[in-house]
Amino acid sequence: MRWPRGFFIDSRKVRVVNVTIENLAPCRKLLRLELDAQAVDVAFEEMTRLVQRQVTLPGFRPGKAPKEMVVKSHSKTIHDEVRRKLVNDSYRKAIEDNKLDVVAGPDFEEVQFGPGQSMQFTATIDTAPEFELPEYKGLKATREVGTIAEQEIDKAIEVLRNQRVTYNDVDRPTQTGDFVVVDYSATTDGQPLTTIAPTARGLTNQTGFWMQIKEGHFIPGFTEQLVGAGKGDKRTVNVDFPADFVSAPLQGKKGVYEVTVTQVKESVLPQVDLEFAKSWGADSMEILRVGIRSDLQSEADNRRTRDVRSQLIKQLQDAVTCELPESMINSVTREVVYEVVRENQQRGVSKEEIDQHKNEIFTLANNSAKDRVKISFLLSKVAEKEDLRVSRESLTTRLITMANQNKVAPEKYVNDLKKKNGINQVHEQLLLELAVDFLVNNAVLEEVQAPLPQATA
């Protein structure tokens, strides 16, 4: 049955006779509520009249069926709707009257009621922590200042050169720094590595595998044993898998690799000249250096701004000691664990290897979650005290930016967010950012000279 839009039980008739509040844990409370029998009877009467107007029974015109017959045929519907409305309305009234800041819940239990009886039920909720906000205006922080040194530009150019590197085949024995393309198969104790490490297929057999002749590359001590090998040469390479090797079953084991060198390659960096500058969209090396300087300066400014914000947030965080809602910590912990697992999977770490470190991942995620939850409460309090508001324009701009980053049409992205209450989360994030901006704008900043870059040998 569909009720008319806007149907409600008059909250003035919802009289919460008794509310007791029990602390179950830090920031978790149990509310015991009781409504008088008169409020319950009024609710049954109103719902019965509504159902009577809406239903059609055989032999009667719409809305004209006798009340007794309506109650008999729709008793469950009437009972369920009265229960739902009285529980929700009385709970909201109890929250308002007791000025409780609910952040999770409610979980309703033990609902007992009926016509002519009072209603009794419990509601378990999580509330925001109680704390006194310390003085947050005039916090002190240091901010680095300084221009980009020529050495930093030179380093950036070397990075660009390495992005344009070419690999030329050479007909000579390998030297340190060369790249080789190899085929290999590996055993330990005469058995393929996969015998004891089923997920180590890539470490057991490979064809056309690139590696650089460089200390510590691939498996420690491996590539150094290929120095002097030429194209077509075969080598037996013995290795000791480190105690902290990425594949746990191989840790501390000895491995024997049969290797065939199929190609020897020499890396060649481009000359730093006009042609190089043009490959990066600049008409000269001077213009390229100017562009690099501008990019590095922007990166440095952003990094220094983030550092100031971190200093101020840390001061605020250290100045407050409070309990935190466990449900929020658990929820954020799950989010952080998901982030860590996803990042490791993108790096190619196997599920088995992630599982081996799950306790460590959980501990780190839980600590991070506690920091995030505490900081969000602190900044929310600052925003509340300063009456900071998120404008519709800034919310729209952020949503469009997020849609573009995810390569989704803005309309679809917003609709998808609405389905999982994501708009409120974006709004909350923007509000916290406004609070941090407020801290920065009202902070006392001491400018210090940024350290000069270390000279490279």
Per-residue tens of pLDDT for the chain, all 457 residues: 444 333 344 544 556 678 999 999 889 999 999 998 888 888 888 888 888 887 777 877 776 777 778 777 788 888 888 899 899 999 999 999 999 999 998 999 988 888 888 899 999 999 999 999 999 999 999 999 999 999 999 999 999 999 999 999 999 999 999 999 999 999 999 999 999 998 888 999 999 999 999 998 899 999 999 999 999 999 999 999 999 888 889 999 999 999 999 999 999 999 999 999 999 999 999 999 999 999 999 999 999 999 999 999 999 999 999 999 999 999 999 999 999 999 988 887 778 778 888 899 999 999 999 999 999 999 999 999 999 999 999 999 999 999 999 999 999 999 999 888 899 999 999 999 999 999 999 999 999 998 877 655 4
Alpha-carbon span 251 to 332, nearest angstrom: 33
| pTM (two decimals) | 0.76
Q: Looking up tokens 């509601």, which residue turns up?
A: 123
Q: What is the structure's pLDDT at 3?
A: 40
Q: Among candidates 166, 209, 231, which has minimal Cα distance to 222? A: 209
Q: What is the structure's pLDDT at 65?
A: 77
Architecture of domain 166-268: Roll (3.10)
> 143 by DSSP, 3-state: which?
strand
Burial of 162 (0-12, 13-18, 19+ CB in 10 A): exposed
Same topology between domain 11-127 and domain 166-268: no
Domain boundaries, the chain: 11-127, 166-268, 281-449
Q: What is the structure's pLDDT at 5?
A: 36
Alpha-carbon span 77 to 61, nearest angstrom: 21
| pLDDT, tens digit, 9 for 90 and up, residues 51-79 | 888 777 787 777 677 777 877 778 888 88
> 366 by DSSP, 3-state: which?
helix
Does the 11-127 domain belong in CATH 3.30.70.1050?
yes
- Across the strands, what pairs with 184? 206, 259
CATH fold of the domain at 281-449: Trigger factor, domain 2 (1.10.3120)
Q: Among candidates 371, 387, 362, which has minimal Cα distance to 322? A: 371
Where would I find the H helices in 237-325? 274-279, 285-318
Residue 292: other Cβ atoms inside 10 A: 21
Q: What is the structure's pLDDT at 384?
A: 95
* Residues sharing a CB contact under 8 Å with residue 176, sequence separation 6 or more, in sequence order: 213, 214, 227
CB 432 within 8 A of CB 380: yes
CB 435 within 8 A of CB 131: no
Alpha-carbon span 29 to 450, nearest angstrom: 50
Q: Tokens representing 330?
A: 């658990």
Q: What is the structure's pLDDT at 16?
A: 63
Q: Among candidates 194, 256, 189, which has minimal Cα distance to 221? A: 256
Residue 89: other Cβ atoms inside 10 A: 20
Q: What is the structure's pLDDT at 20?
A: 92
Residue 456: other Cβ atoms inside 10 A: 8
